[in-house]
Amino acid sequence: MSDDHHIPTASHNLNPEPGERLARPFQRFASLSSSGGIVLLAMTAIAMIWANSDYADSYNEIFNETKTTIAVTHMPDGHAADAHGSEVVDHGQALVDDRADDHVDELGDDHIGDDAGDHDGDGLVDEAGDHDDDSHGGHGWKPLTEEPAWYQQHSTAMWINDLLMAIFFLVVGLEIKREILVGELASPKRAALPIFGALGGMIGPALIFVGFNAGKETIGGWGIPMATDIAFAVGILAMLGSRIPNSLKVFLTSLAIVDDLGALVVIAVFYTENLELAYLGYAGTIVALLMFMNVLRVRWITLYLVLGLPLWYFVYMSGVHATIAGVLLAMTIPAHARVNAVNFVFSTRKALEVFENAGDDPDTNVTESSVRRASVNAIISNARLVLPPLHRIEHVLHPWAAFVIIPIFALANAGIPIHGGVGENLKDPAAIGIILGLFIGKPLGIILLCWLACTMKIASLPRGVSWRHLLGAGMLGGIGFTMAIFIANLAYANNVSHLEHAKLAILVASAISAIGGAAILMSCKSNPEPEPDTLGPLVDDDD
């Protein structure tokens, strides 16, 4: 959720510079609530066209066949210097090579630099294990001449899904924590309706999927239709404009966040096959250290992010999906401000007074006055103290998640080759379960449990929101997309055919749900409500 309240900055009414003129269209586009969904839709279309064009082989080669290996090995004796007499460090650092699949297989199978193996065909290691000096000439990447002490090898798509998406899940975790602490989920009364709606939106699709896939090998995909894509759903609401009550936007956003939390639990519990308890213990140690830092009120963001790297690795090695590390890290990020609003206003006003009185000429450039520079730095420091680390990290990472990580994920995963026509592919029981689960199970489950919550007086409809509004929002909840594709990759990792059918079904169901939800909401009477005030960040009373 954006924190932009259209507050003017010092750049207000300035004549734009050439670089600013070039960037302005992109900045205006990025400021739109629907921009993330538009970029995601564009990358999905590109992936689908690419995967079904004459260049489909290049798509498969880039994302699925190309293997990237990060390896660390010891420097072998006798290779301490290159042709120029300088120290060779390539053997002691990471090796990244697109051809790594030719000489690095599963750990313990094909040994790198096996003296008995002939690798001359790929120019890596000859029978004696010597370097191919002619091909490398003392420059560039050096081939490994022995089995590395540590390495990780994945396809490009797997690196995106396991590593890059961990950053996206960090953002999701930050949003969940913020909403629980100071947002719509902070109040039990306000949180009741979206929580009940999210539960219905997860149970309904899962039951429909199980009904069509019980006893079949596709049953493992029951978690696929449970998720809601928040970027698409909220983006469509934004495009509908003032005819949609702000309270409905808040409801759908809160529902999608609770939905994401449920999906994370499903991934961690039901899509974890083999647990390595030792690595799980290492991950738990890192989390305990991060929580201890939180208790000590450590607010150095860099330290949290640095510890997030070994946390990611240990979670990955434990058997739990690596992206859960992003959520665990988010839960430990401090959400308390160092100073309260009174201290911030007082100190910042004093800094502004010093800035104003530092020179007789009000137009004096800041670079010409050390006093004014000090005043500006004091204001910057005050801003960092009054804004919790959680909000600062989310503010920095959210654009990267929306405009880089998710579009790259869509490009790498939405390229589905369609063989035999769309109808033929959608006959798969998994595809039927996904389409009906998202298009029918989602809105039905959301409406039923919201009605139950209202009947039991646990919750009530927000002001300005009718049951027709809620039905339209429930249909938008059927836009699974990002999280649904992510779960499909886990459910059908060993069955390419079912995976392709599932992904195609997700795209079809998401498109139908988007059109149906928008049509219902456009038929509602325009009765917008003012956006409710949100609570500010938590503040340490003892600071």
Q: Which residue has the higher pLDDT, 158 or 361?
A: 158
Name the pLDDT band for 209 (thresholds 50, 70, 90).
very high
Give the model's pLDDT for residue 118.
45
Give the model's pLDDT for residue 474.
92
Helices (H), 86-164: 133-136, 156-159
**Strands 67-72 and 150-155, sheet pairing:** antiparallel
Report the C-alpha gap between 328 and 457 in whole angstroms: 34
In our burial notation (b when 16+ CB lie closer than 10 A, e otherwise), range 406-437 reads bbbbbbbbbbbeeeeeeeebbebbbbbbbbbb
Report the C-alpha gap between 481 and 510 in whole angstroms: 6
Q: Which residues have a Cβ under 8 Å from the Cβ of 126 and sit 6 or more positions away?
A: 118, 119, 120, 132
Q: Does residue 310 have a pLDDT over 90?
A: yes
Look up residue 196 and give its two tokens: 């009940």
Report the C-alpha gap between 536 and 438 in whole angstroms: 35
Q: Which residue has the higher pLDDT, 530 or 21?
A: 21
Each residue's pLDDT tens digit, 390-437 = 999 988 998 888 888 888 988 988 888 877 667 777 888 999 999 999
Give the model's pLDDT for residue 110.
43
Each residue's pLDDT tens digit, 15-67 = 777 776 676 676 665 666 567 778 888 888 899 899 889 988 999 899 988 88
Each residue's pLDDT tens digit, 338-387 = 898 899 999 999 998 888 887 666 666 777 778 888 888 999 999 989 99
212 neighbors 205 (Cβ within 8 angstroms): no
Give the model's pLDDT for residue 100.
41
Q: Which residue has the higher pLDDT, 449 or 12?
A: 449
Report the C-alpha gap between 184 and 198 in whole angstroms: 14
Task: Of 48-57, 268-277, 296-305, give the lowest mean pLDDT range.
Answer: 268-277
Give the model's pLDDT for residue 141.
61
Distances (CA, A) of 120 to 65, 116, 129, 243, 543: 22, 12, 10, 68, 67
Look up residue 227 and give its two tokens: 């998720």
Which residue, among 263, 265, 253, has the nearest Cα to 190 in the 3D structure? Answer: 253
Give the mean pLDDT of 473-502. 89
332 neighbors 304 (Cβ within 8 angstroms): yes
Look up residue 132 and give its two tokens: 């191919």
**What is the chain's mean pLDDT, rounded?**
79
Please give the domain boundaries of the chain with CATH numbers for all domains. Answer: 88-153 (no CATH), 156-336+389-528 (1.20.1530.10), 346-386 (no CATH)
Residue 284 host element (H or E): helix 277-295
Look up residue 498 and give its two tokens: 């079912």
Report the C-alpha gap between 284 and 141 in whole angstroms: 36
Name the pLDDT band for 101 (thresholds 50, 70, 90).
very low
Type of residue found at 536: G
Cα atoms in the 13 Å half-sphere on the side-chain side of 107: 9
Give the model's pLDDT for residue 292.
95
Give the model's pLDDT for residue 530.
47
Which residue, among 205, 200, 244, has the nearest Cα to 518 in the 3D structure? Answer: 244
Q: Is 242 exposed, middle or buried (0-12, 13-18, 19+ CB in 10 A)?
A: exposed
Task: Of 95-99, 317-321, 331-335, 422-426, give the lowest mean pLDDT range.
Answer: 95-99
Name the pLDDT band for 97 (thresholds 50, 70, 90).
very low
Look up residue 372 and give its two tokens: 């004014």
Name the pLDDT band for 442 (thresholds 50, 70, 90).
very high
Distances (CA, A) of 254 to 194, 199, 260, 263: 6, 12, 10, 14
Rounded to a whole number, what is the distance in angstroms from the first to the last CA of the chain? 28
Per-residue three-class SS string for 358-413: CCCCCCCCHHHCHHHHHHHHHHHHHHHHHCCHHHHHHHHHHHHHHHHHHHHHHHHH
The vertex-379 CA angle with 375 and 383, nearest 5°, equals: 170
Give the model's pLDDT for residue 21.
67
Task: Of 31-45, 60-74, 201-215, 432-446, give the lowest mean pLDDT range.
Answer: 31-45
Q: Does residue 148 have a pLDDT over 50?
A: yes
Name the pLDDT band for 311 (thresholds 50, 70, 90).
very high
Report the C-alpha gap between 472 and 470 in whole angstroms: 5
222 neighbors 487 (Cβ within 8 angstroms): no
Taken in order 132, 133, 134, 135, the sign of the CA dihedral is positive
In our burial notation (b when 16+ CB lie closer than 10 A, e otherwise), range 314-336 reads bbbbbebbbbbbbbbbbbbbbbb
Each residue's pLDDT tens digit, 159-176 = 898 888 889 889 888 888
Look up residue 492 and give its two tokens: 């059908």
486 neighbors 271 (Cβ within 8 angstroms): no
DSSP string over 183-234:
STTSSHHHHHHHHHHHHHHHHHHHHHHHHHHTTSGGGGGTTGGG---HHHHH
Using a pLDDT cut of 70, give the percent of the chain over it. 76
Report for 87-91, 432-436, 499-503: range of highest mean pLDDT: 432-436
In our burial notation (b when 16+ CB lie closer than 10 A, e otherwise), range 97-135 reads beebbebbeeeeeebbbeeebebeeeebbeeebebbeee
Q: What angle do helix axes 467-476 and 496-522 make, rounded to 10 degrees?
A: 150
